[in-house]
């Protein structure tokens, strides 16, 4: 069963893995003082046009949000997030452990080189756009306008249930009676064959 649940369900792109393999056996300074981290830092500064920027790297979204929130908010302040937001559904424990409550509200809108980063970004968005076109052609709407590799499509409950029997998908919410919002994420590992198969399966389930 192919998974469209998220875009981080495989270890890494083969080109990233190759770079890591090439570095096996080499020794580096820690705490972001190695030459590769410095190169990435300078590349990002050039990209954003801010040579005075102070950059720090984290290895995941949860620790990034936790660090930023615990630093920015005052002790009595809370986080306000849509009830379908990642910070409210997957990171609440980590955030609230710092003493900041996550308050939910309902809402309907609820890499080693820069070249690879943008190459993969274009690739995943292209694959997602093919799925967006499919849903639009069939007359289905979205919880929020598709803008990236994440798609929040609204489908009849029965169709959503059938689709989830064939693919690993995440049900976000039920925006109205009789319909469900499913999140589909394409990734660097999503092949054209995966997309074509999904389109065929989807049409067969209609």
Burial of 134 (0-12, 13-18, 19+ CB in 10 A): middle
Residue range 73-128, pLDDT digits in tens: 998 898 888 887 778 887 878 888 888 888 888 765 554 667 888 899 999 999 99
**Of the listed ranges 11-15, 26-30, 148-152, the one predicted with least confidence:** 26-30
Residue range 28-64, pLDDT digits in tens: 888 888 998 999 999 999 999 999 999 988 888 888 8
Beta bridge partners of 168: 3
Residue range 151-200, pLDDT digits in tens: 999 999 999 999 999 999 999 999 999 999 999 999 999 999 999 999 99
3 state SS of 22:
helix
Long-range contacts of 122-130 (CB under 8 A, 24+ apart): 123/188, 124/7, 124/149, 124/186, 124/187, 124/188, 124/190, 125/149, 125/186, 127/186, 127/190, 127/192, 127/194, 127/195, 128/184, 128/185, 128/186, 130/195, 130/199
Nearest to 124 by CA among 92, 147, 90, 141: 147
Q: Dihedral angle at the C-alpha atoms of 24, 27, 32, 38, nearest 10 degrees?
A: -80
3 state SS of 101:
coil
Residue 139 has pLDDT above 60, yes or no: yes
């Amino acid at each position: 069963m192919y998974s469209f649940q998220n875009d981080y369900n495989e270890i890494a792109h083969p080109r990233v893995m190759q770079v890591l393999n090439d570095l096996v056996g080499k020794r580096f300074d820690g705490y972001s003082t190695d030459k590769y981290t410095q190169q990435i830092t300078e590349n990002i500064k050039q990209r954003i046009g801010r040579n005075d920027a102070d950059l720090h790297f984290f290895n995941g979204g949860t620790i990034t949000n936790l660090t930023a929130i615990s630093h920015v908010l005052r002790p009595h302040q809370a986080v306000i997030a849509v009830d379908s937001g990642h910070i409210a559904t997957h990171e609440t424990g980590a955030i609230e452990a710092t003493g900041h409550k996550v308050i939910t509200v309902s809402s309907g809108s609820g890499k080693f080189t820069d070249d690879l980063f943008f190459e993969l970004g274009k690739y995943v968005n292209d694959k997602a756009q093919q799925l967006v076109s499919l849903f639009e052609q069939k007359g289905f709407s979205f919880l929020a306008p598709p803008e990236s590799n994440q798609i929040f499509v609204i489908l009849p409950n029965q169709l959503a249930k059938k689709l989830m029997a064939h693919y690993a998908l995440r049900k976000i919410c039920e925006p109205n009676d009789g319909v469900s919002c499913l999140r589909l994420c394409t990734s660097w590992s999503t092949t054209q064959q995966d997309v074509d198969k999904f389109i065929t399966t989807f049409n067969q389930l209609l």
